[in-house]
Structure 1
Amino acid sequence: MTHKARKRWALVILLVGLPLYVVVSVSVLNWLYPDPLERPPLWAELGIYIGLGILWALPFKFIFKGIGQPDPDA
């Protein structure tokens, strides 16, 4: 995959995929804990969100790697 294509895919993933993933993650947690009084403690919920935030990027690591560097083909 060319450097230019990886930059474009990274942009699409960040502008479209990440907001969708955030909505799905929050929806799933709200579905698991519908009652605000029975939610997990704040530190546990924060840990879940941090874990999910790291988890979404792992499959796309090869796309994001080296995006900030100058184009090696130029």
Structure 2
Amino acid sequence: MTYKARKRLALFILVVGLPIYIIFAVGLMSYMLGQEIRFPVLVELLVYVLLGIGWVFPLKWVFKGIGQNDPDQPPQP
């Protein structure tokens, strides 16, 4: 995948995908907390941490090197 395509995909993920994921995570947590049986605080904390950083690992390859100069572009004199 080219640098430009990865940069566009990263922007799309941050602008569209991340808000959708946040809505999913909030819905999941509100469902869990709304049940009659309450989970222990440490379990809830673990779920929050996993939901908070869990989206990064599958998408790490997209964001890696995005802040650098375009390696496909010829060097400027």
- Fold agreement, TM-score > 0.5: yes
Q: Which has the larger radius of gyration?
A: 2
Q: How does 1:28-67 map to 2 (within 5 A)?
A: 28-34=28-34, 38=38, 41=41, 45-67=44-66
Aligned-pair RMSD on alpha carbons? 2.1
Taking structure 2 as the reference length, the TM-score comes to: 0.78
Residue 40 to residue 16, structure 1, CA distance change in 2 (3 Å): farther
Name the CA distance, whole Å, in 2 between partners of 1:50 and 1:14: 19
Instruction: Identify the structure with the greater helix proportion.
Output: 1
Name the CA distance, whole Å, in 2 between partners of 1:22 and 1:45: 16
Residues 48-74 of structure 1: CA distance to partner in whole angstroms, max 9, x if unpaired?
Answer: 323212111111111100000000111
Name the CA distance, whole Å, in 1 between partners of 2:40 and 2:59: 29
Moved over 6 A (4+): none
Task: List gaps (5 residues or longer) in structure 2.
Answer: none
Residues 10-31 of structure 1: CA distance to partner in whole angstroms, max 9, x if unpaired?
Answer: 0000001111111100101111
Residue 63 of structure 1 aligns to a residue in which SS?
helix
- Of stretches 3-12 and 55-64 in structure 1, the one that deviates more from structure 2 is 55-64
Task: List gaps (5 residues or longer) in structure 1.
Answer: none
Q: How many residues align?
A: 73
Taking structure 1 as the reference length, the TM-score comes to: 0.81
